[in-house]
Amino acid sequence: STVPVGTGDEVERIIREANPRADVAVVSNPEFLREGAAIDDFKRPDRIVVGLEDERARDVMTEVYRPLYLNQAPLLFTSRRTSELIKYAANAFLAMKITFINEMADLCEKVGANVQEVARGIGLDNRIGSKFLHAGPGYGGSCFPKDTLALVKTAQDYDSPVRLIEATVAINDNRKRAMARKVVAAVGGDVRGKTIAVLGLTFKPNTDDMRDAPSLSIIQALQDGGAHIRAFDPEGMEASRSLLERVDYGKDAYDAATGADALVVVTEWNAFRALDFARLKTLMKAPVLVDLRNVYRRDEIARHGFRYTSVGRPKDDVLT
């Protein structure tokens, strides 16, 4: 899977050293599976990358993947080191794309533009594409944070720095706490003594993965400001207990929102896409919604008398 460039060479060296007579070919076969959709991605991959130095491995690996396709599988054969680098380059590029649209979101708020329309406008260009152009609180998970840092370190080791990726890492780290400041602003500039309800803890929907989740930095920053946190996540609460302190967990979104001064959507689970705002208004101490995933439209929230803050939309889209 994802290993530093040169790992395959080292594996082969160890094998040759341990058993010079071993007739073994070492190949690199990185995976490109999304958490929450791994089986479907395996059965219908957009590409299969195989790095090899021994040509005998080509036929073996072709046969391994043959059952997935009636016709030719989308196999890309490269050198082993190229294959190892493809994985890092792919994840770094996607992380950079997320970070780009997040910076555009900040600019949109300043100039009065709408980042969702900007994303659609540039995403319709086939050279850019629409995926990973959703503004939010930054990337997390097991791959992007780890792989971007690994690529930066590898580039430094080889005296070939990757400045764009270095900037991506720094910007993403800063963004998470910036989202906490957005919540603070939404409740009047001070969260001390206030209760903030957080919906969504995992780094994305359909997983229980809490690794480098934006919610961790957001909650920590709000707690640093004196806020009390109530939270709910369909899958991530068990994993979050060892990572977060002084958090009360609700049995559902409405339980978490009870008595809250603001409700914050951090992860766009389907369960949070059709909330009953009439019910929420009766449960919450103050009708304030901070939508860090732009799940809702301003007008539908306004009908229920909520003050609404989103990401990358013009100021007249934030009700006060």
Distances (CA, A) of 214 to 31, 171, 173, 245: 24, 13, 9, 16
Residue 47 domain-assigned?
yes
Give the pLDDT of residue 319.
Answer: 40
Tell whether 180 and 312 lie within a shared domain.
Answer: yes
Per-residue confidence in pLDDT tens, the chain, 320 aa: 789 999 999 999 999 999 999 999 999 999 999 888 899 988 888 899 999 999 999 999 999 998 887 666 689 999 999 999 999 999 999 999 999 999 999 999 999 999 999 999 999 999 999 999 999 999 999 899 999 999 999 999 999 999 999 999 999 999 999 999 999 999 999 999 999 999 999 999 999 999 999 999 999 999 999 999 999 999 999 999 999 999 999 999 999 999 999 999 999 999 999 999 999 999 999 999 999 999 999 889 999 999 999 999 986 544 43
Distances (CA, A) of 232 to 108, 217, 288: 30, 16, 17
Closest CA to 92 of 46, 152, 136, 174: 152
Cα separation, 274 vs 213, whole angstroms:
23
Cα separation, 8 vs 22, whole angstroms:
16
Closest CA to 310 of 276, 274, 277, 263: 263
Is 143 a residue of the active site? Answer: yes
Give the pLDDT of residue 203.
Answer: 96
Tell whether 203 and 154 lie within a shared domain.
Answer: no
Write out the residue range of the structural domain in which residue 237 sits: 176-317
Give the pLDDT of residue 74.
Answer: 87
Q: Which residue, of 141, 169, 197, is where some domain finishes?
A: 169
Tell whether 244 and 119 lie within a shared domain.
Answer: no
Residue 51 domain-assigned?
yes
Element (H, E) at 107: helix 80-111
Q: Which residue, of 78, 94, 114, is where some domain finishes?
A: 78
Tell whether 27 and 138 lie within a shared domain.
Answer: no
Tell whether 72 and 183 lie within a shared domain.
Answer: no
Residue 127 domain-assigned?
yes
Structure tokens given for 255 = 């339980």
Q: Which residue, of 27, 49, 78, is where some domain finishes?
A: 78
Tell whether 209 and 303 lie within a shared domain.
Answer: yes
Structure tokens given for 72 = 């030719």
Instruction: Count CB atoms within 10 A of the CB of residue 146.
Output: 15
Q: Which of 143, 152, 165, 201 is catalytic?
A: 143
Tell whether 20 and 59 lie within a shared domain.
Answer: yes
- What CATH number has the domain bearing residue 154? 1.10.1040.10
Tell whether 302 and 262 lie within a shared domain.
Answer: yes
Give the pLDDT of residue 141.
Answer: 92
Residue 199 domain-assigned?
yes
Structure tokens given for 164 = 């764009």
Residue 1 domain-assigned?
no
Tell whether 244 and 116 lie within a shared domain.
Answer: no
Q: Is 266 helix (H, G, I), strand (E, B) or coil?
A: coil
Residue 114 domain-assigned?
yes
Number of domains in the chain: 3
